[in-house]
Structure 1
Amino acid sequence: MEENNTPRWFSELTQEEVAFIKNFILSSGSIKDLSKTYSTSYPTIRKRLDKLIQKIQINERKDNDTVVKLINQLEEEGKIDQDIAKTVVLEYSKSLNCLIID
């Protein structure tokens, strides 16, 4: 969690993804209604929703990932530089994001 209690997965969403989630909620979770809002097909909206679900799951995994925890621990103990720790975690996170299926 960040200092303002916003979950990290939420802070990593794009503005477009946040708008999509907002529209999803406003349509009471109806993919059919959402497809009308976006003037696109049900399968297209379903695919977009599935990608968002995957993104959230991967970000949740990052929060509990042993590799990320180890890097953070090494940085806290002064065994590696903060910039190096950030770079390693960022690159590792990018590799996890590759798991999102198009």
Structure 2
Amino acid sequence: MDTMPPWMADLDAEDMAFIKRFLLASGSMKEVAAQYGVSYPTVRLRLDRLIQKIQLGEQIEQEPYIALIKRFAVDDKLDFDTAKILITEYRKQLSQGASS
């Protein structure tokens, strides 16, 4: 049996259940919204966050610190403005270190 792709490692059971429903609904967000009993924009937001989570999972090997900050923002543990500041300052530190 193949190992799980790295991007899937960060997905929890709820994420996997959402993906399964989405696939079984042939990608119809309208149908998924009806199944969950929520609005279309709520499903859209959930899908967008899931996409971000997957993208972060793919980036983690390249920039683990930046990926961690972005994950906190996606998971609402850190606001996006603070995340941007932390990432900008981190990149400044890296560029200063490289030029020293």
Q: Same fold (TM over 0.5)?
A: yes
Aligned-CA RMSD value: 2.1
1:44-55 matches, cutoff 5 A:
44-55=42-53
Q: TM-score, normalised by structure 2?
A: 0.66
Structure 1 portions without partners, runs of 5+: 69-91
Cα deviation for residue 12 of structure 1 reads 1.4
Cα deviation for residue 99 of structure 1 reads 4.1
* Percent identical residues: 43
1:29 maps to 27
Q: What do the CA deviations read for 1:22-42 (whole angstroms, capped 9, x no partner)?
A: 000000000000000000000
In structure 1, the residue corresponding to 2:34 is in which secondary structure? helix
* Structure 1 stretches of at least 4 aligned residues deviating more than 2 Å after TM superposition: 92-96, 98-102
> Cα–Cα, structure 1 residues 21 and 100, in superposed 2: closer, same or farther, change >3 Å?
same
Q: TM-score, normalised by structure 1?
A: 0.64
